[in-house]
Amino acid sequence: MPKTTVDLHIPDNILQIWQDFLNVLSEVLAIPAALIMRLEQPYIQVFVSSKGKDNPYHPGEREIFDQSGLYCEHVIKSGSKLLVPNALQDQNWDHNPDIKLNMISYLGYPIFKPDGEAFGTLCVLDNKENSYSPRAEKILEHYRNLIQHELAIEYLNSHLGQENAGLNDYVNDLLDKNRIISEQSEQLREVNDQLNSKIEVLDWLVKVISHDIRGPLGSFQKLLRMMEDGSIPQDEYPQLIQALHRQSGQLFNIVDEMLDGIRIQNSDLAEYASLDNHDLTPILESLYHLYHFIATQKRIELDLEMDSGPVLARINPKLLKVAIRNLLNNAMKFSPEKAKVRLRLRNLEPGAEISVIDTGVGLSDGMLSYLRGDMSVSAPEDGNPLNKGYGFGLGLCKDCVQRMQGILEISGEPAKGATFTIILPN
């Protein structure tokens, strides 16, 4: 990912999640201080600190970072974990500033921004010798990964907000020029259409982040609060940590899929036009497992139905994933709770047929005509607000399918769901 100048603003609800976790971490590990440190050159500061009477660190306290001698300076500069069981018995650390606060043991991990630059550290400190158990290391490393996933999400939100504002200003400027220079009106309309398409991309991404990312993070917050207030026995913590680890991995996959989609959407799709024979079974299985997590969060039943044996077609895997993801996104978007969505793969011998079938709001005759025709025209005003929003995702899906020399078929009825079928040659 390219480096960014976006200023990462951490919202209050995320800060509260981090605060709750540090409080629980301090209590579970029986140590006085659990910290998230933030690097903002030339300073390093206490960003979030566990709440306890024996914790000498307070949010906002800061030191000059370079040559500070702090444990965290070493972690950030080395980009790796640091474990100091007893600084008083370690000649490398027996003069570090934290000893003045009687913090003689330390375990810390680096936290990175989405562009690879250092954000700070997640660390714990003790006023007595402490070698920290492998379980403690696993907990810290796991939550460090969660923090980095949350930073990636906040980066996307900040970046999209800035880009969206810039695009809106540019559109207004183009419209003014359009009124003044009538002979350039056609050219300006084309540019305007392109900008509107980009704005729609940003709106789509924000919706995915809001519904598919923040929901699971809210679940994490509830679990951590239950751990804090004692609703969950401590002997269940290992199982919960394993579950949180699995879910964080799924969230990471979602973020990876979104970033991959952004790269494809902002590039020339022609570079992905190389086609080869592939077995579609593992591709659909991976997408099913990814979206099964999303469907569960939305209380939607997602099923996978596939013909037995290899199902072969000439495809480009990246283009196919973009196409199916957009169909699944729309199916989830326009399906209420307890609805059913089915991902189906059939062997046509030769070729293959992939269908996304939902029992959602369905499609009116006017909407069917719109979706089967020119995607650049406006969606019909047929009284159903959910019928607005297929445009960009389905347009991108059509483009990907066409580049694989396939066909996209659409059918549906109002209130009876919709079926989108991709037919691919071999």
Residues near 179 by beta carbon (within 8 Å), at least 6 away in sequence:
none
pLDDT digits (tens, 9 = 90+) for 120-177: 999 999 999 999 999 999 999 999 998 988 888 877 776 665 555 555 665 566 666 6
Structural domains of the chain ordered from first start: 12-132 (3.30.450.40), 151-266 (no CATH), 270-424 (3.30.565.10)
| Average of per-residue pLDDT values in the chain | 81
253 band by pLDDT with thresholds 50, 70 and 90: low
Please return the burial class of 337, using the count of CB atoms within 10 Å of its CB with bins 0-12, 13-18 and 19+: exposed
Residues near 72 by beta carbon (within 8 Å), at least 6 away in sequence:
37, 44, 108, 120, 121, 123
User: Do residues 92 and 48 lie in contact, with contact meaning Cβ atoms separated by under 8 Å?
Assistant: no
Evaluate if residue 421 carries a pLDDT over 70: yes
Residues near 207 by beta carbon (within 8 Å), at least 6 away in sequence:
333
Dihedral sign, CA of 123, 127, 132, 136? negative
339 band by pLDDT with thresholds 50, 70 and 90: very high
386 band by pLDDT with thresholds 50, 70 and 90: very low
User: Do residues 364 and 382 lie in contact, with contact meaning Cβ atoms separated by under 8 Å?
Assistant: yes
* Two structure tokens written together for 262: 């952004």
* Two structure tokens written together for 373: 């025709």
Q: Name the nearest CA neighbour of 216 among 131, 309, 290, 302.
A: 290
307 band by pLDDT with thresholds 50, 70 and 90: very high
What's the CA gap between 150 and 122, in Å, rounded?
Answer: 14
What's the CA gap between 226 and 229, in Å, rounded?
Answer: 5
263 band by pLDDT with thresholds 50, 70 and 90: low
Q: Which of 12-26, 55-69, 158-172 has the lowest mean pLDDT?
A: 158-172
Q: Which of 110-114, 264-268, 340-344, 422-426 has the lowest mean pLDDT?
A: 264-268
Dihedral sign, CA of 63, 67, 69, 70? positive
Q: What global pTM score does this model have?
A: 0.43
Q: Which of 82-91, 208-217, 401-410 has the lowest mean pLDDT?
A: 208-217
Evaluate if residue 385 carries a pLDDT over 60: no
* Two structure tokens written together for 292: 């099964």
Predicted confidence at residue 3, as pLDDT, reads 41
